[in-house]
């Protein structure tokens, strides 16, 4: 579409993650260049953060993989530009959600668990999870949590009678919390799990030496200069009905930053995380959001997943080791561990029990990456990095009995502590109707159902949480940005050719 500069709608995008960049690149592609992206942080990328702290190779503090290939626009983009890791290279390994034969499992007595037993339990667990994902579960259990259902199936299986299998099964639940960004599988809805769509093709696609930053750069390079304004936290989005918008104003929207700078606009596309909306929606919009949207923000879940990178002077694990997994006898995943956690808030004193294990990091031969989720992860973020490192080293010594080499560096993510992120990604808590809430979240303002609209599509909503099938992912975020940009483009196309 060709817009003449004096007729161009003015668009302000709030947030420069994949959703914001996807929206901006799409608008630019269609000739809409009267736009600005306001980003609170000092960088674009949001929950994507490629770091190079321990040497030249990239470490990802946020998103690591491109999930699935067929129909994934980010996979296509990365492949076409040679940004993917070469197939077969060691960058393609490290996959937290699947256990490889090279994972070493230890219990807290320092005993390595027999790989055959680990394999039996993890295969059983993965089979159950894939049945749940395909809605192949007992219909009478529909309103249960995933944790309850898994427990009941495990109890019925022969595996539950084999000594030592239960603690491995509990470990599987802990690992699953990474995928679902949840505190516990008991808080997570069974009948909503299948809404997430896994795209065909290998699920874990790793990026090459430029990391995820390389993909972000493809989008950033498509923007006209000065489109991206960093260090610009937005304080309030005034839209139709706000007393601060004068009747004479040509623009129905006014976006005000914390430093006082104002950005009058025809449309604002809000891409801030669900975590930010939960914390700040009541002051971020004037007039306030309608009830349906506020309820959707409250009802959908936004959990924390954190990574702890540990750099050692040299590897102390065998060459064939892909990861060191920690199996507790009475972990936070067991029904008792969970109820104790709720009562005694043990995630504060025993936060480290929520670390699933430490994976070897491709291209960093002396580095391990620990994964931790939920309230324990949020607590871990508040501790000094040195304390986190010491606790991890003592766990590694206790479980493996191996001579742990000198710890040279610690780097952990702090997504929950970040005031402009407030967690990691969306999940669907027990009893929530995800389709209904995601539709309410994505609904533009003023609502299309309202009558006498002065100007439609004043405030639009994108971001990972608004995608009905690909929520939690970078491609979901990116596609939601494209969706909102296309909504605007369609509006102007319809205006140019009014229907008779």
Site residues, ligand FAD (CB under 6 A): 14-20, 38-41, 46-48, 62-65, 67, 233-234, 271-273, 276, 305, 307, 413, 415, 420-421, 424-425, 463-464, 472-474, 477
Q: Are 69 and 84 in contact (CB under 8 A)?
A: no
For residue 201, is it left (φ>0), alpha (ψ between -120 and 50) or beta? left
Nearer to ligand FAD, 121 or 479 (CB): 479
What's the CA gap between 215 and 220, in Å, rounded? 9
Please state the closest distance from residue 268 (CB atom) to ligand FAD, in A.
11
Rounded Cα–Cα distance for residues 177 and 182 (Å): 5
| Cα dihedral value 109, 409, 273, 350, nearest 10 | 30
Minimum CB distance to ligand FAD smaller for 149 or for 263: 263
Smaller CB separation from ligand FAD, 103 or 279:
279
How does strand 11-14 pair with strand 267-270?
parallel
| Distances in whole angstroms, Cα of residue 305 to Cα of each of 37, 94, 190, 231, 424 | 27, 16, 20, 25, 6
Cross-strand partners of 312: 407
In the complex, minimum distance from the CB of residue 235 to ligand FAD, in angstroms, rounded to a whole number = 7
Contact, 396 vs 358, CB < 8 A?
yes
Question: Nearer to ligand FAD by C-beta: 38 or 440?
Answer: 38
The contacts of residue 416 (CB under 8 Å, 6+ apart) are 275, 304, 306, 377, 378, 381, 422, 423, 424
**Smallest gap from residue 397 Cβ to ligand FAD (A):** 26
Which residue's structure tokens are 């006498």? Answer: 452
Of 153 and 437, which has the nearer Cβ to ligand FAD? 437
Q: State in angstroms the smallest separation of the CB of 474 from ligand FAD.
A: 4
395 vs 421, which CB is nearer to ligand FAD? 421
Which residue's CB is nearer to ligand FAD, number 164 or number 233? 233
Residue 294 CB, nearest approach to ligand FAD (Å): 17
Q: How far is the CB of 194 from ligand FAD (least distance, A)?
A: 18
Short-list 460, 450, 448, CA closest to 11 = 460
Q: How far is the CB of 482 from ligand FAD (least distance, A)?
A: 12
Helix (H, G, I), strand (E, B) or coil at 285: strand
Nearer to ligand FAD, 231 or 348 (CB): 231
What is the C-alpha separation between 81 and 215, in angstroms, rounded?
9
Shortest gap between Cβ of 141 and ligand FAD (angstroms)? 29
CB of 20 to ligand FAD, least distance (A): 6
Give me 288's structure tokens: 């306030």
CB of 196 to ligand FAD, least distance (A): 11
DSSP one-letter code for 414: -
Q: Least distance to ligand FAD from the beta carbon of 79, Å?
A: 15
Residue 38 pairs in a beta bridge with: 14, 229
**Distance in angstroms (rounded) separating the CA atoms of residues 221 and 154:** 51
Distance CA 363, CA 58 (A): 8
Instruction: Pick between residue 65 and residue 312 the one whose CB is nearest to ligand FAD.
Output: 65
Q: Which residues contact 333 (CB under 8 A, 6 or more apart)?
A: 147, 170, 171, 173, 174, 177, 184, 185
What minimum distance in Å lies between the beta carbon of 297 and ligand FAD? 14
Nearest to 232 by CA among 214, 211, 255: 255
Q: How far is residue 83's CA from residue 221's CA, in Å, rounded to a whole number?
A: 15
Q: In the complex with ligand FAD, which residue's Cβ is closer, 185 or 272? A: 272
Q: Give whichever of 129 and 272 is closer to ligand FAD, judged by the CB atom.
A: 272
Give 284 or 457: the residue with its C-beta nearer to ligand FAD: 284
Instruction: Output the six-digit token pair for 100.
Output: 């490889």
């Amino acid at each position: 579409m060709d817009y003449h500069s004096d007729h161009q709608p003015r668009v302000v995008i709030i947030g420069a993650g994949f959703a914001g960049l996807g929206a901006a690149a799409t608008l630019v592609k269609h000739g809409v260049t009267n736009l600005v992206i306001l980003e609170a942080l000092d960088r674009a990328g949001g929950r994507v953060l490629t770091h190079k702290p321990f040497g030249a190779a990239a470490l990802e503090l946020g998103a690591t993989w491109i999930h699935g290939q067929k129909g994934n626009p980010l996979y296509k983009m990365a492949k076409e530009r040679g940004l993917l890791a070469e197939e077969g290279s060691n960058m393609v390994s490290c996959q937290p959600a699947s256990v490889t034969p090279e994972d070493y499992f230890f219990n807290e007595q320092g005993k390595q668990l027999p790989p055959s037993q680990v394999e039996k339990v993890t295969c059983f667990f993965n089979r159950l999870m894939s049945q749940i994902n395909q809605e192949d579960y007992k219909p009478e259990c529909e309103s249960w949590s995933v944790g309850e259902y898994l427990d009941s199936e495990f109890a019925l299986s022969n595996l539950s009678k084999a000594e030592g299998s239960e603690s491995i099964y509990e470990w599987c639940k802990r690992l699953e919390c990474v995928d679902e960004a949840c505190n516990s599988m008991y808080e997570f809805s069974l009948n909503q799990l299948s809404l997430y769509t896994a795209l065909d093709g290998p699920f874990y696609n790793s990026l090459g030496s430029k990391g995820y930053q390389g993909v972000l750069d493809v989008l950033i390079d498509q923007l006209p200069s000065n489109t991206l304004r960093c260090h610009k936290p937005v304080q309030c989005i005034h839209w139709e009905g706000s007393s601060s918008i004068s009747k004479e104003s040509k623009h129905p929207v006014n976006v005000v930053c914390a430093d006082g700078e104002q950005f009058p606009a025809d449309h604002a596309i809000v891409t801030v995380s669900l975590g930010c909306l939960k914390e700040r929606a009541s002051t971020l919009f004037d007039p306030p959001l309608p009830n349906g949207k506020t309820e959707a923000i409250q009802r959908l879940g936004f959990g924390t997943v954190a990574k702890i990178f540990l750099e050692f002077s040299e590897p102390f694990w065998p060459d064939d080791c892909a990861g060191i997994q920690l199996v507790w006898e009475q972990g936070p995943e067991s029904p008792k561990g969970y109820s104790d956690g709720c009562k005694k808030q043990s995630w504060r004193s025993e936060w480290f029990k929520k670390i699933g294990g430490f994976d070897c990091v491709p291209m960093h031969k002396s580095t391990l990456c620990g994964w931790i989720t939920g309230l324990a992860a949020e607590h871990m973020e508040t501790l000094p990095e040195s304390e986190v490192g010491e606790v991890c080293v003592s766990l590694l010594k206790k479980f493996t009995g191996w001579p742990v080499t000198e710890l040279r560096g610690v780097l952990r993510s702090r997504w929950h502590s970040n005031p402009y992120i407030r967690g990691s990604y969306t999940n669907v808590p027990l009893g929530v109707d995800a389709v209904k809430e995601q539709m309410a979240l994505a609904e533009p303002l003023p609502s299309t159902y309202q009558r006498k609209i002065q100007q439609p599509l004043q405030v639009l909503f994108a971001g990972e949480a608004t995608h009905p099938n690909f929520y939690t992912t970078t491609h979901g975020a990116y596609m939601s940005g494209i969706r909102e940009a296309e909504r605007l483009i369609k509006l102007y196309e319809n205006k140019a050719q009014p229907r008779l």
